[in-house]
């Protein structure tokens, strides 16, 4: 059944968030901060690992890099477009709207927790490719795997950052659900090079989310999101 993968993913995030919040009540502020820092490190190295897998190649026994120009232009153009559209501001305003609608006005960390958690679980090839597989073929394997990973990540984040992380389930539902619905239209156009570029740049953005978890608000990751579209277009232009 199309959409089952996203439904399970959403439930896993909600379950992980509630579990993390329950555990967080019994943790000291020092422990919560340590967990958040650990989440940052986990996210950074997850992103770096994904980037290295696409960036490095062995040819004739020598290690070399590939896709550097694609990465540079994708990030530069994507940043310009994202800043002009102010995607970070829109993301934060959506977080503020959720904060008011869910009556968490007194939670000063709600928006940051929502934005960081949403970007962590929404960015990456697994979300896009998994949703396409779900919509086109009813194959839920990738999203089921992602659901397990998201459960662990959101549990750890919720223990330290609070209820805002739980609402990242809304972002996942909207993004992955939309891709699943539209999969029959654009999936046939997505070639292997486009998927590879998407994973390459997407993992850079994941690493940036980890940096923000360690050093809050250093990088406007939401404003980098158009880089993903540029990376896909690059594959067709090339």
Question: What are the pLDDT digits (tens) for 89-107?
Answer: 888 898 899 888 888 888 8
CA gap 180, 191 in Å, rounded: 17
Position 173 confidence tier, pLDDT thresholds 50, 70, 90: very high
Position 184 confidence tier, pLDDT thresholds 50, 70, 90: low
pLDDT computed for residue 36 by the predictor? 77
Q: Provide mean pLDDT across the span 202-211.
A: 86
* Count of structural domains within the chain: 1
CA gap 155, 19 in Å, rounded: 6
Name the residue range of residue 122's domain. 4-237
Say what the alpha-carbon torsion angle 191, 194, 200, 205 is, to the nearest 10 degrees: -130
CA gap 226, 119 in Å, rounded: 13
Please state whether the predicted TM-score (pTM) of the whole model is above 0.85.
no
| pLDDT digit string, tens, across residues 25-53 | 777 878 877 877 887 888 888 889 889 98
CB 71 within 8 A of CB 207: no
| pLDDT digit string, tens, across residues 72-81 | 999 999 999 9
Burial class (CB in 10 A: 0-12, 13-18, 19+), 174: middle
């Amino acid at each position: 059944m199309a959409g089952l993968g996203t439904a399970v993913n959403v439930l896993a995030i909600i379950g992980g968030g509630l579990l993390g919040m329950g555990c967080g009540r019994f943790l000291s502020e020092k422990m919560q901060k340590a967990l958040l820092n650990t989440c940052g490190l986990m996210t950074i190295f997850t992103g770096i690992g994904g980037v290295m897998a696409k960036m490095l190649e062995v040819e004739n026994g020598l290690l070399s890099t590939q896709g550097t120009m694609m990465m540079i232009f994708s990030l530069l153009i994507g940043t310009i477009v994202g800043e002009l559209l102010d995607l970070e501001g829109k993301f934060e305003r959506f977080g503020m709207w959720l904060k008011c609608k869910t009556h968490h006005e007194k939670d000063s960390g709600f928006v940051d927790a929502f934005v960081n958690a949403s970007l962590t679980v929404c960015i990456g090839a697994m979300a896009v490719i998994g949703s396409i597989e779900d919509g086109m073929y009813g194959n839920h394997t990738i999203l089921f795997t992602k659901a397990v990973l998201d459960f662990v990540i959101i549990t750890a984040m919720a223990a330290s950052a609070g209820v805002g992380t739980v609402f990242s389930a809304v972002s996942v539902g909207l993004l992955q659900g939309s891709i699943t619905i539209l999969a029959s239209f654009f999936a046939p156009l997505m070639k292997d090079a486009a998927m590879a570029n998407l994973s390459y740049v997407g993992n850079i953005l994941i690493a940036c989310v980890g940096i923000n978890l360690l050093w809050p608000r250093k990088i406007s990751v939401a404003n980098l999101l158009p880089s993903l579209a540029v990376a896909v277009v690059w594959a067709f232009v090339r």
